Every structure is written in C-alpha cells, then in structure tokens.
Structure 1
Amino acid sequence: MKKISSFILSLCLLFLISPTFFVKAKQDMHDESIYDIIVDRFVDGNPANNGPTNLKEPFMGGDFEGVRTKASYFKKLRFSYISLGSLAKAEDYRGKKVVDYGQLQPYFGTEADYQKMREALNKEQIKVIADFPINGVSEKNVLIPKGEEASWTKPATKKGTVNWNLENKQVKKALMKAAADYAYHNQVDGIRLTGIQGVDPTFLNDLMLILKASNPDLVVLSDDDSDANFDVDYDVGKMKAFQEVFKKPNATATSVVKNIREDREVNPRLLMIDDVNNTRFSEHTKISKGESSPQLKLALTTLFTLPGTPIMMYGTENEMSGKNPPDTLGMMEFKENNELTDYIRKLQKIRSDNPALRNGSFKLLNHQDGFVAYERYDDKKKWLVVVNNTDQTQQMNLSEKAIGKNRELVSLLDGERVYASPNQKYRVALDREQAEIFEIQPRKSVDFPYLSLAVVGTLFVLLMITIVIGVVRKKKGEGI
C-alpha cells in the first residue's frame, strides 16, 4: 500500500503543472458537525508519556489514550467529526512548531496508542480531522536541508520558528509530499491547513489536489480566511458576530443573520462561537461561579440551526473562559449532570434527525434588536426557530399565508403547541432570554383553548334561549 501511495503521489506531482488533469471531488459538509479539541488539553490517559512542564506554555498531559476513553462521549453529543489539532512531532503542545511531519508527537503516545484511538472512534462512526501546519514551524524542521536554510525558509514572527519559502519549487514539492504522507499514514478523514496567512491560494489549491488524489472523500478546511477552494468556508467574522450579539441581552442580531442565502449554499461556512485563537464566548457571558448564562444556550440554538457546519470547541459545554491562549485552552473538565451537555445533545439530535435543518433553505422572518425568527425548510418539512435575547417577553404574529392553513407549531424543546387564532394568526410568545425550535405540522390534535371557548359560547347562548323561553311561558301563564 505504501508503494501504491508513493506512485499516486509521484503521478500527482508530475501533472501538477496542469491542475485540470484532476477533477476535485468536494466532500459535502452540510450534514456534519465538528468537535474541536487539542489532544494535550483533553484527557491524560497515560501519565507516563507526559511532556515537559517547565515551558512558558507547558504540556498538560493529554494523549491519544485519553481521547480513546471519550469516544462514547463524542457519540452521545452526536458529533460526526473530531478535530484533534496537529499530530506531528513539535516543540509546543499545540503542534504548530513542527519538527517532523512524519512522526507523531511522542508526548501524545505511540503509533499503537494512536491506532487504538482511531479504532475506538471508528467504532462510534466518528471521523478524524488533523491539523497540518504550514507556516510558523520549528527552525529545526527535518525537511530543511543542511546549508540551504536561506533558500528554503523565511523569517517568522516567533523566535525559533520559520516560514517556508514557497517561491522555491523544491520546497513546494517537499511540503506537498509531507502533507500527502501525513494524511495517508495517519488515516485521517480530514486535514485542516493552519498557518496559511499570506500563502498563495494557487499553492493551497494545488496542495488540496494532491491530498485528495488518493482519497477523494478527504475534507480539507482551514483556520483562516482564504480565497482557496476549501470544502468549508472559514468565517471568523461570523464567530465574532455570535460573540458580540449574544454576550448580553438586547443586542441587534443583524450581523449574525445577514448575508445568508435563502437557497442552499454550495460550500457551507463554519459556524462557531469559540476557536483556538480567540477569546472564549463564556468570557463575555459568565455570571458567577455555579451559574450558567442563558446567552450560551441562545447562541448554541442559533449555531445548530443556521445554514452551515457547526464546530464546537472543547470546554464550551463547561463554559470554559479566557481572553487569549493559553488561558483559553485549559484542561478539559467533565461534569456530572451537566445541563448544557444535555442541551447540546438535544439540539444535535433535532439537527441530525431533520434534513431541512442541515440542507434546507433559509428565510428570515424577524430580527429586531435581540429578537430573531427564521425558517428552515425543504419540500417535506418546515421549521421555525425563534430566539429572544432580550430582557422582556416578546411575541410575534404569523399569518396563515406564512405558516399554512390548518397547521400547528410544535416545540421540540418543551412540547408547547401553537394553533391559529380565530383571526387566522399564529401567536408565538417567548419569555426573556429563551429560544424555541418549532416543527410546523399538519394540525392533528384538538385545539382545546378554542374548543373550550366555543363550548362556553354555545352554553351561554343555550342559557339565554332557556331564559327567554321561560319568561315567555311565564307571561303566557299570567295572561291566562
């Protein structure tokens, strides 16, 4: 198999000057969701392989064995991909300062440990994404030929790191081979290219062709904005919009819901409220120890129901906070009876069980200050998502033209049902800082409020008729 892989790689490099030789197979990521971790900061399954702790940003002991023990945890949360960060041997816990792309980070465990982890994740039908850092690698990287440092690298911002000189064809070829070998030998289902600031999109597109040559189903994404043809569009602006809108009540939601196409986008965008490089969402919303912020639930409801591919950082379910790395990347804690974990599981189940919430069209119905309502729909189902991030109860009336005649709105979060009123309006009311996801169904159940009103009205009419008849009879009797 290794010989076959090398042959395919050589063939790809041979025809690289003519990218049209290959047809790029796009992996559809609309149906997927990603749980993002850093191996070193997740679970310490084997203290014997822990890395150095005397660094400015020390290793904390997380490893492949620790990830393996949590395969069922990812499955319960219904994530289809787990993003592990960089796997390569590096000088830092995040794996950015790569020394050797061809070796696993020894502080994470052995090849056998890695394979056991992969088997456990495969058993739960969870796919693996790994980072492949491009710029900012160690100046000791084994790809750099001795004596050719000046022609192979360029200075980087951090001490002891370098960027690749991608104007050198030999560097391009070596880096492409390293990436293809990395993806193949680690048997990953996805590659996230990191450190791509300033990298020519043409090179990135060529690199993606190489990566997909032996595995067309491989998904390739990035951690920065780029004009390259990634399978998912990275959108840090959308993440910052989530944080700005939901960090406090009454903020206008325009920045979150703007620029969303009504029809299905060809490339989904990554939807996130946290990432490894920025301030944690819960840093903005934390109230006090032991109290959860309602804004996190509102943000998560939107995250899992807007068009796109949701990606959730580890620790979000525990309201991990912090302004900048490494403070934002603490060791993972697992809490019993975690209300947020249960809520995420419920949102994920609703999303995974209903294609319209993953692949359906989008229609914005209302967005005023912190009150937002939108539809997700396809030719079989229609959903209404309402988010009230204000400090007051809010309501809206939707016409039968918008919802449909003889319909009922069934909340999948608390079971509430909404029916059309006598004036043919569907009245949706939400308490402050609450969210609801309604399935719009053909009306099946009896509308007890309006039935009761009709019964009372009928009884009142009958009572009046009885009184009138009694009065008439009495008068007739007196006349006799």
Structure 2
Amino acid sequence: MLRRMLLSMLLPFLLFYALPVGAVEKEERTWQDEIIYLLMVDRFQNGDSTNDLEINTQDPLAYQGGDFQGIIDQLDYIQDMGFTTIWLTPVFSNEAGGYHGYWIENFYETEAHFGTIDKFKELVKEAHKREMKVMIDFVANYVGPNHPWVADEAKKDWFLEEKAEVEPMWFQGLPKLNHANPEVKQYLMDAAVWWITETDIDGYRLHAVNEAPVDFWKDFSKEVKAVKDNFFLLGQVRSDNPQDYLQYEKAGIDGFLDYPLHQPIRKAFAKPDASLDELFAILDKGQEIYQQPSFMGAFFDDHEMKRFTRDMVENNEFPGGRWKLALSFLYTIPEIPVVYYGTEIAIDGGEAPDNQKMMNFRSEKELVDYITRLGEVRSQYPALTKGNLTLLESKNGLAVYKRQFEDETIVIAINNTTEDQKVSLTADQLENDKELRSLIGTDMSRSENGTYQFVIKRESSDIYKLENRSGINYFFVFSIFAVFLLFSLFMYAAWKRGKRRTTS
C-alpha cells in the first residue's frame, strides 16, 4: 500500500521534469521556415557505379558520377546540418554532355547518369521520411541544342527565332521555346504536373522566369498548385530591381532568389570593415514591395556563378571565419536561407565549371558544426523565421538587430570589423530588467541601470535570446528535493518489504 502511494506521488514529479523547459506544441511548418541546400546532382556523390556512363573525372565539362543514390546515401549528412529542403539541379534526360541538366532531351525521363525514375522516387520518399522537402529545377524556356523538336518541321512554330544568350555558357545558343504557342504551353504544364503526381516532389525552382510571358506563369502556377497543397514555386529573375518581381509574384510564383540582395551581401562580407547599412536598406525596401518578403531566397552563390569563397581568397581572407560571419547574417534575416553544396567546407571555385567541383566529405568539421548550430537556432526560435526585423545599431561594419515574434525576442550582433566592439543597448531598444543569453556561445548580458552591454570580438557574431533574469528557482530546488526524498522513501519501503520476505 505504501509503495503504491509513494509511486503515485513520485510519478507526477518525474513526468513534469522529464519535459523540456518551455516545450510547446510545434506549429505547422511553412516555406519561410525552410533552410534550403542546393546541390548539383552530378557533382555531389557517386552512389551507384552501374550508371557511370563514360564519366571522366579529369574533365570538368564531363559527367563526374554523382547520382540519386549518392544523394540518398548523404541525406542524413544534409539533415544533420539542419537543412530541411534539398534543391536539385535539373534531373530530366539530357543530351550528351549535359551533366548540368539544362540540355533537356526528354521532359518525362530522368537522366540515365543519375538513375531511374524509381530511384528518384526513392530519393523523394527517403527525404520525406526525414521530414525533408525536395525541390527540383524546372526549365520552361529552352531545350537541348539537338532536341528532336528542332528538326521537326511540324514543330517549327514551337520555337522563337532568337537563341538563348544568358550566362553561364551552357545556355548560350539554346533553342528558345515559344510560350505563345498553346501546344508548347500545354506540354510544359502537363510535364510539370506529371512530375508532381508521379514523384511527390514539393516544389520547383523556375529558371529564368523573366524570359517567359507573365500569362504563361499565371496559368502554370494555377495548374501545378492544384495538384498538391503547399507546393512551392521559387523563381529566378535576374534583376537588381525589386519592382521587376511584382508581376511574376502576382502571377502566382511564391518567392524568388533575392538578386537585389545578392551582390551587396557578397561585397559586404568578402572582407572586413565593409558597411552593412546597404543590406538593411535593401531588406526594408523588400518588405515594402514584395507581397511575401519572407518567401525570398537569400543566397551568396550557386551553380551559375563563381563561389563566394573565391571572393574571400582574392581578398587574402581566411574563408572559414568569413563564412561564419556571412552565414550568421543569412540565417537571421527574414528570408529563406539557400546554401550551395560545399559551402560547409568552404569549397573554392571560379566561373563554371570550376564552381562545380565534386563534393568532399572528408574535410574539416568546424564550419559544418557552425552551420549545424545556426540551423538548430533558426529552427528552434520562431522569431528568426516569422518575426519582424528592427535595426538597433549600425556603424562602420557593426550591426545589431532584433527579430521579434509574439513574446519572443532574438538579438543578433555582427561585427564585420577588425576590432572588438562594445555594444550598449538601452531600455528604449530592449525590454528592461532582463538578460541576453547567447544561443551560440556562453556570453550573457544583464540589464544594468537600463542598459545592456556586451563585447563582440573582431570579425565574429553572436545570437542572443532576451530572457527573464536568472536566479535561484526555489520552487525547482524544493521540487528536486521532494523527488529525491520520495524516491528515498520508496527505496526504503521496498528494502523493508524485501527484508520481511526473506525472514518469513
């Protein structure tokens, strides 16, 4: 009887303190909560030697052997870094030499070098098991230079007279599709719908949106979004003017790679002592112009341009430290972080194909660990995905800003200078009589006389959570003591009962 009574008293305490502090019901994930990892299929991981068809690892313009199985093999690696979505370069069947995926030969087949459609379905399924999403490139503007349609007289009006002229080099001279032709339009929409229904992918990155008519994208968006709830369209509009995005956003494309922000952030973080003021001005402007600014994709580089690491190398800077600073900014602004494969090991590379080297999984882990921690923090605190941004201080390369959502406040400090910087924040900027606790390191600052003061080391950053002042939690101490006492009594009663049984 005593044993049951003690157990009934002990159990509620054990259950209560087994729960994580501040545990709340997880909100439904939206696309602004995602962290995207962009990888080039052929250059990531060779997981299946049976599809190594005429690969040449000595030729950067030839297939290197990366495939769907290789991605499946590394899904845990990607997930462990905190990435929630993988974006793949085109997976459609390509003409000879089309390792990049943009010389499309058949919209309804996978590239043989990458694997079968069944293997791709397995990839999507395995990603979904890990609660990760899969987005693929959809190219609606061009086909391969020797596509059968090009020589078909019956399909002459499927093409425009002009050829593609955009960079990088693999787009040069490609046949441009005529979206004004109803057959072309319907073919592309049917193919896009087929991939969703057949493989259960979660989104498309739409290449060169501004090279197709707005009316085409309006119908395209309507068609694909009718197939699957929460299907995401991330557009590419090569323009530094936010106004150029509006017509496509109104046509139904959810978000866009943030080209207006792209070059300024590369310039700001490629070397120390650069001002960050322009970055916040661009973000403020985007908040005013875009319908869904939190669906913009912030990025430093991708498969179409030289790697950001090259900028650092050219400035004689250590890439690891610069990348930490840059990624701290990328992960804490109100946009979706898009990270190009190899960033986690600071791969260097110039213009394509030098920027598409085979991934190396046996490198230093310091930057991997940092990215992992950034991912954990961003996913754990809704203020970093849903909160508004307020700039608290910005001068000479130092920036301090806060993200707020409901009753949660996160403060980010970025010191892009070559000297340690002292930061002082007043009660007008942050709620008084609380404390700032680092989510990255061990730093802590308490409000003293209405002011929070802390030091950010040179070329470094930190992320803080505004919390109530810590102190002795007497209720917690008493509860732990009570649990210990009850457990001791329970063990004593069990011992006494056992002793009676052995003596009877």
Task: Indicate the SS of the match to 1:138.
Answer: coil
Distance verdict in 2 for CA 1:28–1:266, change over 3 Å: farther
2:303 aligns with 276
State the 1:111 CA deviation. Answer: 2.5
- 1:421-436 aligned within 5 A: 421=448, 423-436=449-462
Q: Is the 8 A contact 1:166 1:172 kept in 2?
A: yes
State the 1:347 CA deviation. Answer: 0.5
Q: Which amino acid aligns with 1:339?
A: E
Pairs aligned (count): 419
1:191 aligns with 204
Q: Is the 8 A contact 2:149 2:155 kept in 1?
A: no
Q: Is the 8 A contact 2:293 2:334 kept in 1?
A: no
Q: Which amino acid aligns with 1:186?
A: T
1:170 aligns with 183
1:415 aligns with 442
Question: Take 1:351 and 1:80, find their aligned partners in 2: how far apart are those partners?
Answer: 11
2:257 aligns with 234
State the 1:288 CA deviation. Answer: 11
Q: Which amino acid aligns with 1:176?
A: M
Question: Take 1:95 and 1:354, find their aligned partners in 2: how far apart are those partners?
Answer: 37
Which string of whole-angstrom CA distances, capped at 9 and with x for unpartnered residues, describes residues 270-320 of structure 1? 111111212211111138999643111010001000001111000001111
1:181 aligns with 194
Larger Rg, first or second structure (1 or 2): 1
Question: Take 2:205 and 2:115, find their aligned partners in 1: how far apart are those partners?
Answer: 21
Task: Indicate the SS of the match to 1:276.
Answer: coil
Deviates more, 1:405-414 or 1:423-432: 423-432
State the 1:429 CA deviation. Answer: 1.3
State the 1:234 CA deviation. Answer: 2.1
Match of 2:466 among 401, 421, 440: 440
Which string of whole-angstrom CA distances, capped at 9 and with x for unpartnered residues, describes residues 414-441 of structure 1? 11111123x4321121111010101111
Q: Which amino acid aligns with 2:402?
A: E
Length-normalised TM-score, structure 1: 0.82
1:460 aligns with none
Deviates more, 1:261-270 or 1:220-229: 261-270
Which string of whole-angstrom CA distances, capped at 9 and with x for unpartnered residues, describes residues 415-472 of structure 1? 1111123x432112111101010111111138xxxxxxxxxxxxxxxxxxxxxxxxxx
1:405 aligns with 432
1:106 aligns with 112
Deviates more, 1:295-304 or 1:52-61: 52-61
Distance verdict in 2 for CA 1:375–1:63, change over 3 Å: same
Question: Take 1:439 and 1:107, find their aligned partners in 2: how far apart are those partners?
Answer: 47
State the 1:115 CA deviation. Answer: 2.7
1:153 aligns with 159
1:116 aligns with 122
Question: Take 1:255 and 1:30, find their aligned partners in 2: how far apart are those partners?
Answer: 23
**What percent identity do the matched residue pairs reach?**
27
2:332 aligns with 305
Task: Indicate the SS of the match to 1:119.
Answer: helix
Q: Is the 8 A contact 2:236 2:256 kept in 1?
A: no
Deviates more, 1:142-151 or 1:374-383: 142-151
Q: Which amino acid aligns with 2:82?
A: R
Report whether the alignment pairs 1:361 with 2:388: yes
Q: Which amino acid aligns with 2:144?
A: S
Distance verdict in 2 for CA 1:246–1:432, change over 3 Å: same
Question: Take 1:244 and 1:148, find their aligned partners in 2: how far apart are those partners?
Answer: 50
Report whether the alignment pairs 1:221 with 2:234: yes
Q: Which amino acid aligns with 1:198?
A: E
Deviates more, 1:262-271 or 1:247-256: 262-271
Which string of whole-angstrom CA distances, capped at 9 and with x for unpartnered residues, describes residues 172-206 of structure 1? 12222122223322321111111434211221121
- 1:55-66 aligned within 5 A: 57-66=61-70
Q: Is the 8 A contact 1:318 1:335 kept in 2?
A: no
Q: Is the 8 A contact 2:309 2:319 kept in 1?
A: no
Q: Is the 8 A contact 1:243 1:281 kept in 2?
A: yes
Question: Take 1:124 and 1:420, find their aligned partners in 2: how far apart are those partners?
Answer: 41
Report whether the alignment pairs 1:80 with 2:84: yes
Q: Is the 8 A contact 2:196 2:228 kept in 1?
A: no
Question: Take 1:194 and 1:81, find their aligned partners in 2: how far apart are those partners?
Answer: 18
1:470 aligns with none
Question: Take 2:260 and 2:54, find their aligned partners in 1: how far apart are those partners?
Answer: 35
Question: Take 1:97 and 1:338, find their aligned partners in 2: how far apart are those partners?
Answer: 36
Q: Which amino acid aligns with 1:431?
A: K
Question: Take 2:145 and 2:468, find their aligned partners in 1: how far apart are those partners?
Answer: 65
Task: Indicate the SS of the match to 1:228.
Answer: helix
Q: Is the 8 A contact 2:299 2:330 kept in 1?
A: yes
Task: Indicate the SS of the match to 1:349.
Answer: helix
Q: Which amino acid aligns with 2:470?
A: K
Q: Which amino acid aligns with 2:188?
A: L
Q: Is the 8 A contact 2:60 2:354 kept in 1?
A: no
Q: Which amino acid aligns with 1:128?
A: V
Task: Indicate the SS of the match to 2:77.
Answer: helix
Task: Indicate the SS of the match to 1:328.
Answer: coil
**Larger helix share, 1 or 2:** 2
Question: Take 2:300 and 2:37, find their aligned partners in 1: how far apart are those partners?
Answer: 12
Distance verdict in 2 for CA 1:396–1:323, change over 3 Å: same
- Which runs of 5 or more structure 2 residues have no equivalent in the other structure? 1-28, 165-170, 239-244, 473-504
Distance verdict in 2 for CA 1:267–1:28, change over 3 Å: farther
Distance verdict in 2 for CA 1:145–1:172, change over 3 Å: farther
Which string of whole-angstrom CA distances, capped at 9 and with x for unpartnered residues, describes residues 300-352 of structure 1? 00100000111100000111122211111110111355100100010010010
1:30 aligns with 32
Task: Indicate the SS of the match to 2:46.
Answer: coil
Task: Indicate the SS of the match to 1:260.
Answer: helix
Q: Is the 8 A contact 1:387 1:434 kept in 2?
A: yes
Question: Take 2:54 and 2:234, find their aligned partners in 1: how far apart are those partners?
Answer: 30
Q: Is the 8 A contact 1:201 1:228 kept in 2?
A: yes
Task: Indicate the SS of the match to 2:205.
Answer: strand
Length-normalised TM-score, structure 2: 0.78
Deviates more, 1:377-386 or 1:179-188: 179-188
Query: CA RMSD for the aligned pairs?
Result: 2.4
Q: Which amino acid aligns with 1:440?
A: L
Report whether the alignment pairs 1:70 with 2:47: no
Task: Indicate the SS of the match to 1:36.
Answer: strand
Q: Is the 8 A contact 2:270 2:315 kept in 1?
A: no
Report whether the alignment pairs 1:253 with 2:257: no
Question: Take 1:176 and 1:443, find their aligned partners in 2: how far apart are those partners?
Answer: 57
Match of 2:101 among 70, 84, 95: 95
State the 1:167 CA deviation. Answer: 2.0
Q: Which amino acid aligns with 1:57?
A: L
Q: Which amino acid aligns with 1:235?
A: D
Q: Which amino acid aligns with 1:117?
A: L
Distance verdict in 2 for CA 1:142–1:204, change over 3 Å: farther
Deviates more, 1:123-132 or 1:254-263: 254-263
2:41 aligns with 39
Question: Take 1:337 and 1:113, find their aligned partners in 2: how far apart are those partners?
Answer: 31
Which string of whole-angstrom CA distances, capped at 9 and with x for unpartnered residues, describes residues 372-421 of structure 1? 11000112210110000101111121112322221111011111111123
